[in-house]
């Protein structure tokens, strides 16, 4: 294995002095995987899903639908064929624990709101800190009764569902999790449930519900759903662009690198990181069938306006590494939502990059990275956040010299348990 993982100390020591080369199929998209499982649980019959994300977050969604009465068979693991057999859902025997998964708890809140029984949703310390009133408030407007700390702004959420009425809702924050929760609840509501978005967010819920036969309509910035159910389906999950982004940036910043990443979901609400890397001058090309190629080249700073943030929200940690190594200043404007992710990413990202010698400043909701930095090996904390851990790893791969490490490495299991074996496959010493 390339690099050394110290399991006792949960610390990874990345290699140095190499480059990345080769082709790699990253695991299935995490956002799409959650939705495939929840929709299979709502379909009356047997669905077959191939290539799910094998991270702990998606395993939490699988366990949640099992707790609610669906049968899940995954003899080859989540990346193999997964069969979900579902009928009417039933109350879970105890609270459903989603681990670290914000997408699980928010989408499940919508699903639970539609059920004629009580469901309690909880999670790890990070989940208990994350804002939940973005879903509990509109779900209450639809008629769900929701109890939880701070007037149901925090988990655990106790959701008494059933008898919902459709609403027209414009979420105050751009969030695909909120849109997804309301659309799932809308499958059980009388009348029409409408979500109007001022900034588009990832369209997976509406696209997948429509593909699986539910009554969904999309007109410009307006998504609506009426009471209906997805039919059982067969579905292949495309590769996760948010995981691929780590290799794309690693190739862009490490001299001599050239990587091919096939089979990715590259719709416009998820490919913002490619557009930003292109503006930075990276040698990155995408094809219409989801193949990404990225090679080493010089980078320069760019401005990323607020309207572009939802299309790259999860890629900001790794884009900030590219920005640190580029010439000039990169500003991510209107990035305040990063405070509400698995960690407060404005502060954990600034701390991690500053430890490595980068010049980073947070002013209001703007994250500014001034390059070019000469990154130096150092000990970095993941802050329990998978994307901070993997971004720090790429920064250390590109750093000047050996000796750096990432503490709290285990957090990568959240989304990308195969990260180290994929690094091993691409790394040329």
Task: Report yes or no: 161 and 144 within 8 Å, Cβ to Cβ.
Answer: yes
Q: 97 vs 345, which CB is nearer to ligand S3P? A: 345
In the structure, how many helices (H) and strands (E) does the chain have?
A: 14, 27
**Peptide bond preceding 151 in cis form (omega within 30 of 0):** no
Say how many C-beta atoms besides its own lie within 10 A of residue 385's C-beta. 26
C-alpha 276/C-alpha 320 separation (Å) is 11
Measured between alpha carbons, how far is 59 from 77 in angstroms, rounded to an integer? 10
The strand pairing partners of 381, in sequence order, are 407
By beta-carbon proximity to ligand S3P, the closer residue of 39 and 176 is 176
Q: Find the shortest distance in angstroms from Cβ 376 to ligand S3P.
A: 30
Task: Give CA–CA dist 200/288, Å, rounded.
Answer: 20
Nearest distance from residue 153's CB to ligand S3P, in Å?
Answer: 14
Nearest distance from residue 28's CB to ligand S3P, in Å?
13
Per CB under 6 A, residues contacting ligand S3P are 31, 103, 175-177, 180, 202, 313-314
Report which secondary-structure segment, H or E, holds 34: helix 30-42
Question: b vs e for 41-50, b when ≥16 Cβ sit within 10 Å of the residue's Cβ?
Answer: bbbeeebebe
The least CB distance from residue 129 to ligand S3P, in Å, is 14
Closest to ligand S3P by CB, 14 or 239: 239
Per the annotation, the verdict on 124 as an active-site residue is: no
Tell me whether residue 68 is exposed, middle or buried, using C-beta atoms within 10 angstroms of its C-beta: 0 to 12, 13 to 18, 19 or more: buried
Q: Which is nearer to ligand S3P, 186 or 404 (CB)?
A: 186
What is the Cα–Cα distance from 385 to 126, expressed in whole angstroms? 9
Q: Residue 180 burial (CB < 10 Å; 0-12/13-18/19+)? A: buried
Shortest spacing between CB 176 and ligand S3P, in angstroms: 3
Angstrom distance (rounded) from CA 268 to CA 264? 12
Q: How far is the CB of 8 from ligand S3P (least distance, A)?
A: 30
What is the spatial order of strands in the sheet that 328-332 belongs to? 303-304, 328-332, 366-371, 359-363
Q: In terms of DSSP H, where are the helices of 235-343?
A: 241-253, 272-279, 316-325
Q: Cα(123)–Cα(121) distance, rounded to whole angstroms? A: 7
Q: Which residue is nearest to ligand S3P (CB)?
A: 31
Minimal CA–CA distance to 23: which of 264, 232, 270, 375? 264
Report in angstroms how near the CB of residue 173 gets to ligand S3P at its nearest.
Answer: 7
Q: Which is nearer to ligand S3P, 301 or 384 (CB)?
A: 384
Nearer to ligand S3P, 202 or 350 (CB): 202
Catalytic residue among 29, 54, 57, 314: 314
Give the nearer residue to ligand S3P in terms of CB position, either 175 or 224: 175
- Active site residue ranges: 314
């Amino acid at each position: 294995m390339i690099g050394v993982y110290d399991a006792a100390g949960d610390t990874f020591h990345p290699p140095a002095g190499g480059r990345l080369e080769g082709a790699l199929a990253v695991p299935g998209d995490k956002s799409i995987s959650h939705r495939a499982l929840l929709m299979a649980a709502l379909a009356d019959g047997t669905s077959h899903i191939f290539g799910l994300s094998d991270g702990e977050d998606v395993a939490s969604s699988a366990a949640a639908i099992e707790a609610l009465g669906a049968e899940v068979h995954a003899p080859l693991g989540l990346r193999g064929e997964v069969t979900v057999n579902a009928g009417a859902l039933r109350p879970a025997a105890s609270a459903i624990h989603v681990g670290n998964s914000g997408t699980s708890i928010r989408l499940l809140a919508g699903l639970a709101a539609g059920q004629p029984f009580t469901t309690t949703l909880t999670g790890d310390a990070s989940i208990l800190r994350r804002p939940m009133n973005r879903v509990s408030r509109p779900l209450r407007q639809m008629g769900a009764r929701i109890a939880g700390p701070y007037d149901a702004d925090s988990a655990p959420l106790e959701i008494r569902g059933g008898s919902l009425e459709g609403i027209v809702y414009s979420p105050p924050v751009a969030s695909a999790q909120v849109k997804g929760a309301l659309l799932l609840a809308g499958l059980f509501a009388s009348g029409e449930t409408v979500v109007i978005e001022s900034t588009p967010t990832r369209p997976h819920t509406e696209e997948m519900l429509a593909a699986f036969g539910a009554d969904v309509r999309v007109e410009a910035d307006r998504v609506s759903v009426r009471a209906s159910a997805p039919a059982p389906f067969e579905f292949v999950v495309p590769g996760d662009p948010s995981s691929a982004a780590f290799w794309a940036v690693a190739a862009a910043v490490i001299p001599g690198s050239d990587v091919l990443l096939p089979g990715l979901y590259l719709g416009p609400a998820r490919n913002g990181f490619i557009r930003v890397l292109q503006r930075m001058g990276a040698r990155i090309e995408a094809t219409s069938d989801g193949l990404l190629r990225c090679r080493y080249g010089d980078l320069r700073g760019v401005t990323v306006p607020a309207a572009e943030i939802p299309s790259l929200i999860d890629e900001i940690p790794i884009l900030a590494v590219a920005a640190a190594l580029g010439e000039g200043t990169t500003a991510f404007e209107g990035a305040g939502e990063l405070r509400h992710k698995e960690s407060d990413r404005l502060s954990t990202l600034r701390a991690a990059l500053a430890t490595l010698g980068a010049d980073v400043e947070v002013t209001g909701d703007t994250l500014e990275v001034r390059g070019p930095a000469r990154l130096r090996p150092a000990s970095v904390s993941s802050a329990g956040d998978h994307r901070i851990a993997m971004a720090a790893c790429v920064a250390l791969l590109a750093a000047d010299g050996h000796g750096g490490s990432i503490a709290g490495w285990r957090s990568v299991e959240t989304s990308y348990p195969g990260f180290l074996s994929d690094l091993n496959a691409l790394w040329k010493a």
